[in-house]
Structure 1
């Protein structure tokens, strides 16, 4: 509709297959982490290159559909030398109670790092779920046991579990940056999804959500709990 009214448009595409299906008039795909289509915060030079390339598509007249790939991977996909992943605890679990206990033990071990990260950066992004971290293991166990917990301030199970998952991923991500050089997003993701009890537990929670008769929980479970590359 914008194009029909004379306004040229260009999209920044994070998922190329989606752009191929929706076929916008012009789109630039980048390999940046989902949610960061112009790459990491504070990387001004790389961001400007992406934006200038995207805006350059507005000068093209060989449409009606133009799909281009940005040629370079952002620095965030490359490992940061010298970063060491926090130690985590291996666990063999199957029941909801075993998940709760293993998750609680791992999280307690990481809490000093999370607090150190707050001192280092002066902030935290935790708080979407309106639940303190010490309440998370019991919430996770309830979901894994088939329960439908609801936080009064959120009002639905879907939002309660979704924002708990967001808070959990944020806490681990902040703890990973507490000491030493700043890790790349890919390093943090690889550590979280491949080497932590919490990452494996979120996959288990996603499975329960996808099989739930609660349509809201099923919807958010399929879309928000685990990024597609780590399912």
Structure 2
């Protein structure tokens, strides 16, 4: 199983220390973890636990004070800003809490947007966006603008936009924070299904234990340390057996 495969994400002895006045705050305090291709993992913790810092480190948005972040065999902590931007553009998709859709564009144009930055021709961009919107169940909403869609539909557009670049890894930051519980569950099921079908890797940060439980594995973080790793696949196998 997973143990025999190469991890797509490796974190080794990771520290992030901030100075606040004369004090040092250890946002991450010696984290080690491995995540494999095709896994849906969640990092769960309360506000201030270090989970958002962890996501920023994995996405190369912040530099560690000490330690290693290795994604697809590449050391993020050794890269300069230009290399990190290129790495994110080529390997990573993001899903945000606030959807971050452009109000002047319809669903298809919003999904196609990341491909514009890659210089993909317009017809190819729109064809690909079209397929992604089918994948997330928005066949009938392709020409709708964000203000003509519900929150759940907007977040589905957000998921499609993250997928359109064929990312190896998708990072999701409280992706259902603005949605009600039923819609949240629908979006989580969708994300889980897509990870399975596309064999992509999804890392989600959340404070919500229930949402975290949709993942294959759950990393519990407290005071910058991983204190427990739950393997839901084993639990599910027991239930299904």
TM-score, length-scaled by structure 1? 0.31
Structure number with the bigger relative contact order (C-alpha 8 A, sep ≥ 6) is 2
Q: Which of these two proteins has the greater Rg computed from alpha carbons?
A: 1
Structure with a larger share of its residues in helix: 1
TM-score, length-scaled by structure 2? 0.30
